[in-house]
Amino acid sequence: RPSGMRDPFLLHVGDQYCLYYTWKTHVMVCTAKSPVAQTWSEPTIARTEPRGAQSPTVVQIGNWFYLFTMGPSDAYKTDVYASLDPLDFRLGKGELVGTLPVSAAEVVRVENRWYISSLIPKRNRAGKITGHNGVRVAPLAWRNGRGN
């Protein structure tokens, strides 16, 4: 485990498990045949964010994979990248398909409905984010396009 590893997220894809996590300015990914495997592949860079990467979440719709990754904590935004390769969202492989005004997003599907969570920002009088006031959850609608 590299020093500074944060925000792990596990996704089952085909016959393997992908473990995404943040490390410095990168979203890293490693794979294994079982979520309790003792042996994981060497980590590779799935995406680099020059200003920092946090809270990676990946979902699959059809053949497309969507990486939700938050930038710096003070930015309060999450970028969404689409890729046909769940291990590679880098420039040339992953396409920025949206930016959402959410922080530390988690995306879940319940039956045929999608939802997204976000931390609720706590702001001081100047409008600067100073913490969080809980979590909110909202329906997430996918527009026609990549994977739909």
Q: Could you report the per-residue pLDDT of 19-77, keeping only the tens digit for each?
A: 999 888 788 888 888 877 778 888 889 998 887 788 999 999 989 999 999 877 777 88
pLDDT of residue 147: 44
DSSP string, 35-102: TT-S--PPPEEEEE-TT--EEEEEEEETTEEEEEEE--GGG--EEEEEES-TT--SBTTBEEEEEES-
**Cα atoms found within 13 Å of the Cα of residue 98, Cβ hemisphere only:** 14
Percent of the chain beyond pLDDT 90?
A: 36
Q: What is the rounded CA–CA span in Å between residue 85 and residue 93?
A: 8
For the segment 76-90, the average pLDDT, to the nearest whole number, is 91
* pLDDT surpasses 90 at 107: yes
pLDDT of residue 110: 94
Higher local confidence (pLDDT), 125 or 147: 125
pLDDT of residue 54: 86
* pLDDT surpasses 70 at 146: no
pLDDT of residue 144: 64
Tokens 């396409």, residue located: 95
Q: What is the mean pLDDT of the chain?
A: 86
Confidence of residue 2 (pLDDT cuts 50, 70, 90): low
Q: Are strands 44-48 and 54-61 parallel, antiparallel or unpaired?
A: unpaired
Q: What is the rounded CA–CA span in Å between residue 69 and residue 72?
A: 10
Output the six-digit token pair for 41. Answer: 């592949």
The C-alpha angle 98, 102, 81, rounded to 5 degrees, equals 30
